[in-house]
A and B are shown apart, each in its own frame.
Chain A
Amino acid sequence: MAYRKPRVGIFSLSSCEGCLVQLFSIEDRILDILGSVELAECRLLGVEDCGTLDVAIVEGAVTSKEEEERLIEIRKKSKILIAFGDCACHGGRFLVKDFDREIDANLPRVGKFKSEPLDKYVEVEYHVYGCPVSREEILELFKDLLLGRPHRPKSYNVCAECILRENDCLLDHGVACMGPITRGGCRAICPTFKRECIGCRGLSEDANIEALITVFKEKGIEIPEYLPLLKKYVGSETL
């Protein structure tokens, strides 16, 4: 059977669109990427089509009934649906600490405020984490898609990558770094620039929040108020 380029649609719900901008920031590879697929739909680039898709890359959180309906439509016509970036993966609570933030607001046009991840409404095949997603992981995603193999996010935490870069551990400097419980894949970019990890990629698979609280205590780091709450929350639902 002749090879057919996968038909790819790129969609955006509510977000800053930074992850889409990141996709177009792989400038030296973007034309190769666009050449290796059939880009069937992408509003940002002005590609409008309506057919079925092999792959739907969806960025942004669901914040309204309209977006919920759009997402369900996208799901119906796509074989593989990818939650692209933290808004799509976690509902735009891009700092894990905002997970419990209930904002009681009624908005014109929209109604009660909400900001939800895609998998609350539809089945999601693959997640690409991060705020923004990393360029390296975008390339990995396209390689996986073209080879027809599953895309696997990193299971390890940010520390695993931070150690490889031989960075000074920020915890030793009394900084409340979320690296130990946050999913890797970013090449520990924030600690490399001497900034604490803010947990933008969600929890790593073996995240031990209890242990991090103990480490903070031992090192005399003030325990951020969201950590104990996060621990409680994770008990009932995965982030």
Chain B
Amino acid sequence: MKTLTVEHITRIEGHLNFTVIVDKEANVKARAEALEGVRLLERLLIGKSYREVPDIVSRMCGVCQAIHRITSIQALEDAFGITLPEELEKLRKIIAIGGHLQSHVLHLFIFVLPDFTGHKNILGMLPKHGELISRAFRLKKLANDITEAIGGRAIHPITPVVGGFSKIPSRRTLEIALDKAREFRKIAEEVIPVVLSLEMPDFKRKTHYVTLYNGKEFPLLRGSVKISQRNIFKPSEYEDYIEYITEEYSTARHYILKKERLEYMVGALSRININYDFLTDTAKSMAKTYGLKYPAYSPFENNKAQALEIIHFAEEVVDLIEDLLHRPAKTEKVEFSVKEGEGVSVTEAPRGLLIHHYKVNEQGRIEKANIITPTAQNYKNIEADLAAYTTKLLLSNVENIEFELRKLVRAYDPCISCSARFFKEH
């Protein structure tokens, strides 16, 4: 029996090891081991006022905090029966898109690209690819500026609250944001081809792809959940379809499809596999130019799916800001009364499906909280891919197996902080 353990994978968010075990019969097993300390954020919520929830849950993750904040607010609004006017929904979507754009740029250009240019990190890339790296940082800045214009701050936005916003942007602020969004779109269309033309390793393994779906648009904040070639279910029914399991080797939760007892994948690839038709024309034509076909079954294609999403969201955010300049929000907040209730919201975080579920008592205090993050859902799929890819690499006598496996894990853009909340609270 042979065991390969790779410790503290670099260029991902958080601390993760993985172990691959090959037995005498050449059967391969893999384990993704989250090492992040457990921060018990859900436990901290119990007994707290609903007003405190968004501030606390956004601290789940420093990369995708914006979407955590918005998802928790949507779940609480569901519990109180609040519906927002379209303009406020659009403002929230801009924050979410800003979050996706900065996260994807960070992942693709700062974390992934060195694997393909033969460097250990971006510092090594600077002499030869300095211009590309500074343009990537410019993109990241513009994305953050867009979030900041609406949210007040890019990392842990301030303004979104239950019932709307504490403050909405002025016309002038929106105009500045529009300029930034247009600049982002222009630079993105110039540099994204760098990612789309990378040669990805030859490895495929079909799995179940799970994402939001609403049949109208490329969904981010609203919709039902679709499991590829299977059911569509409503957010409130999630417990009937996915189930969590714990593994003693990890501080994170792992999830499987409940009925099938099988692993599944969430993230950009799942989104595009299921919602390709709703991408913008520019994104679709780029996909054609670079020979990308969906559904695609290689986890490495998640990188290119993120790249296409950058093109798609860059266009969408320009449209959203233009819409809001034509039809500005009339009010910051809607009136509502606090009441006993239960609410669920399912959204798409940069790394995939995100579920927030709260039960609130009549004083507006939290009685139950459940948060299911994308990376936690991906662990079982990562393990299955690690095992299958190792088998393939062993058969083709590839020398640097460890390098290849790191690259595979990185393609998922895992976010360990989010997932490390191993705890049975009920």
Instruction: Enumerate chain A interface residues (CB-CB to B < 8 A).
Output: 12-22, 24-25, 27-28, 30-31, 34, 39, 43-48, 60-64, 66-67, 92, 94-95, 98, 101, 103, 105, 107-110, 113, 115, 131-132, 189-190, 192-195, 198
Contacts of B161 in A (CB 8 A): 195
Contacts of B56 in A (CB 8 A): 95
Pick from A15, A60, A132: contact of B156, CB below 8 A. A132
7 closest A-B pairs (Cβ-Cβ)?
Answer: A18-B62, A63-B37, A14-B37, A27-B141, A46-B121, A193-B152, A46-B10
Q: For B12, give the chain A residue with the smallest CB separation.
A: A44
Expressed in whole angstroms, the Cα–Cα distance for A98 and B41 within the complex equals 11
Q: For A64, give the chain B residue with the smallest CB separation.
A: B37
Further pairs besides A18-B65, A107-B422: 13, Cβ < 8 Å: A12-B14, A12-B15, A13-B37, A15-B417, A16-B62, A17-B13, A18-B61, A22-B62, A24-B106, A46-B114, A61-B37, A131-B59, A194-B166
User: Does B44 interact with chain A (Cβ within 8 Å)?
Assistant: yes
Output the residue of B37, B44, B111, B422 with the most chain A CB within 10 A.
B37
Expressed in whole angstroms, the Cα–Cα distance for A105 and B13 within the complex equals 26
Shortest Cβ distance from B369 into chain A, in angstroms?
Answer: 14
Contacts of A190 in B (CB 8 A): 152, 158
Contacts of A94 in B (CB 8 A): 59
Instruction: Indicate if the CB atoms of A95 and B120 lie closer than 8 Å.
Output: no
Q: For B52, give the chain A residue with the smallest CB separation.
A: A95
Shortest Cβ distance from B383 into chain A, in angstroms?
Answer: 17
Known: A105-B40, A115-B37, A131-B156. A31 touches B133 (CB 8 A): yes
Task: Mark B136-167 against chain A: 1 for CB-CB distance below 8 A, else 0.
Answer: 01101100100000001111101101000011
Pick from B60, B123, B138, B159: contact of A47, CB below 8 A. B123
Contacts of B167 in A (CB 8 A): 193-195
How many inter-chain residue pairs (CB < 8 Å) link A and B?
158
Task: Mark B30-43 against chain A: 1 for CB-CB distance below 8 A, else 0.
Answer: 00000111111001
User: Does B63 interact with chain A (Cβ within 8 Å)?
Assistant: yes
Expressed in whole angstroms, the Cα–Cα distance for A39 and B121 within the complex equals 11
Shortest Cβ distance from B100 into chain A, in angstroms?
Answer: 14
Instruction: Indicate if the CB atoms of B43 and A103 lie closer than 8 Å.
Output: yes
Expressed in whole angstroms, the Cα–Cα distance for A113 and B56 within the complex equals 18
User: Does B29 interact with chain A (Cβ within 8 Å)?
Assistant: no
Expressed in whole angstroms, the Cα–Cα distance for A14 and B68 within the complex equals 18
Task: Mark B205-224 against chain A: 1 for CB-CB distance below 8 A, else 0.
Answer: 00000000000000000000
User: Does B258 interact with chain A (Cβ within 8 Å)?
Assistant: no
Known: A46-B121, A61-B37, A107-B422. A17 touches B159 (CB 8 A): no
Prevailing SS type, chain B contact patch: loop
Instruction: Indicate if the CB atoms of B11 and A46 lie closer than 8 Å.
Output: yes
Instruction: Indicate if the CB atoms of A113 and B38 lie closer than 8 Å.
Output: yes
Pick from A63, A66, A67: contact of B39, CB below 8 A. A63
Instruction: Indicate if the CB atoms of B123 and A45 lie closer than 8 Å.
Output: yes
Instruction: Indicate if the CB atoms of B134 and A16 lie closer than 8 Å.
Output: no
Pick from B60, B111, B251: contact of A109, CB below 8 A. B251
Q: How many residues of B contact A (CB 8 A)?
A: 59
Contacting residues of chain B (67-120) with chain A, CB-CB under 8 angstroms: 102, 106, 110-111, 114, 120
Instruction: Indicate if the CB atoms of B155 and A22 lie closer than 8 Å.
Output: yes
Shortest Cβ distance from A186 into chain B, in angstroms?
Answer: 9
Expressed in whole angstroms, the Cα–Cα distance for A43 and B16 within the complex equals 11
User: Does B246 interact with chain A (Cβ within 8 Å)?
Assistant: yes
Expressed in whole angstroms, the Cα–Cα distance for A13 and B38 within the complex equals 11
Contacts of B123 in A (CB 8 A): 34, 39, 45, 47
Instruction: Indicate if the CB atoms of B158 and A18 lie closer than 8 Å.
Output: no
Instruction: Indicate if the CB atoms of B62 and A17 lie closer than 8 Å.
Output: yes
Known: A28-B137, A95-B56. A45 touches B11 (CB 8 A): yes
Expressed in whole angstroms, the Cα–Cα distance for A101 and B15 within the complex equals 25
Instruction: Indicate if the CB atoms of A17 and B14 lie closer than 8 Å.
Output: yes
Contacts of B156 in A (CB 8 A): 18, 131-132
Contacts of B152 in A (CB 8 A): 189-190, 192-193, 195
Instruction: Indicate if the CB atoms of B417 and A17 lie closer than 8 Å.
Output: yes
User: Does B55 interact with chain A (Cβ within 8 Å)?
Assistant: yes
User: Does B290 interact with chain A (Cβ within 8 Å)?
Assistant: no
Expressed in whole angstroms, the Cα–Cα distance for A43 and B8 within the complex equals 8
Contacts of A25 in B (CB 8 A): 102, 140-141, 144, 154-155
Known: A14-B39, A22-B155, A195-B166. A43 touches B10 (CB 8 A): yes
User: Does B244 interact with chain A (Cβ within 8 Å)?
Assistant: no
Residue contacts A-B, CB under 8 angstroms, 9 given: A18-B61, A18-B63, A18-B65, A25-B144, A27-B140, A45-B10, A98-B44, A108-B246, A195-B161
Pick from A31, A192, A194: contact of B134, CB below 8 A. A31
Instruction: Indicate if the CB atoms of B38 and A107 lie closer than 8 Å.
Output: yes
Expressed in whole angstroms, the Cα–Cα distance for A30 and B63 within the complex equals 17
Contacts of B251 in A (CB 8 A): 107-110
Q: For A27, give the chain B residue with the smallest CB separation.
A: B141
Instruction: Indicate if the CB atoms of A14 and B36 lie closer than 8 Å.
Output: yes
Shortest Cβ distance from B104 into chain A, in angstroms?
Answer: 14
Instruction: Indicate if the CB atoms of A110 and B37 lie closer than 8 Å.
Output: yes
Contacts of A92 in B (CB 8 A): 39
Expressed in whole angstroms, the Cα–Cα distance for A66 and B17 within the complex equals 14
Shortest Cβ distance from A59 into chain B, in angstroms?
Answer: 9
Instruction: Indicate if the CB atoms of B37 and A21 lie closer than 8 Å.
Output: no
Contacts of B10 in A (CB 8 A): 43-48
Instruction: Indicate if the CB atoms of A108 and B422 lie closer than 8 Å.
Output: yes
Instruction: Indicate if the CB atoms of A193 and B417 lie closer than 8 Å.
Output: no
Instruction: Indicate if the CB atoms of B37 and A44 lie closer than 8 Å.
Output: no
Shortest Cβ distance from B91 into chain A, in angstroms?
Answer: 13
Shortest Cβ distance from B282 into chain A, in angstroms?
Answer: 24
User: Does B122 interact with chain A (Cβ within 8 Å)?
Assistant: yes
Q: For B161, give the chain A residue with the smallest CB separation.
A: A195
User: Does B423 interact with chain A (Cβ within 8 Å)?
Assistant: yes
Instruction: Indicate if the CB atoms of A193 and B159 lie closer than 8 Å.
Output: yes
User: Does B260 interact with chain A (Cβ within 8 Å)?
Assistant: no
Instruction: Indicate if the CB atoms of A16 and B65 lie closer than 8 Å.
Output: yes
Contacts of B13 in A (CB 8 A): 17, 44
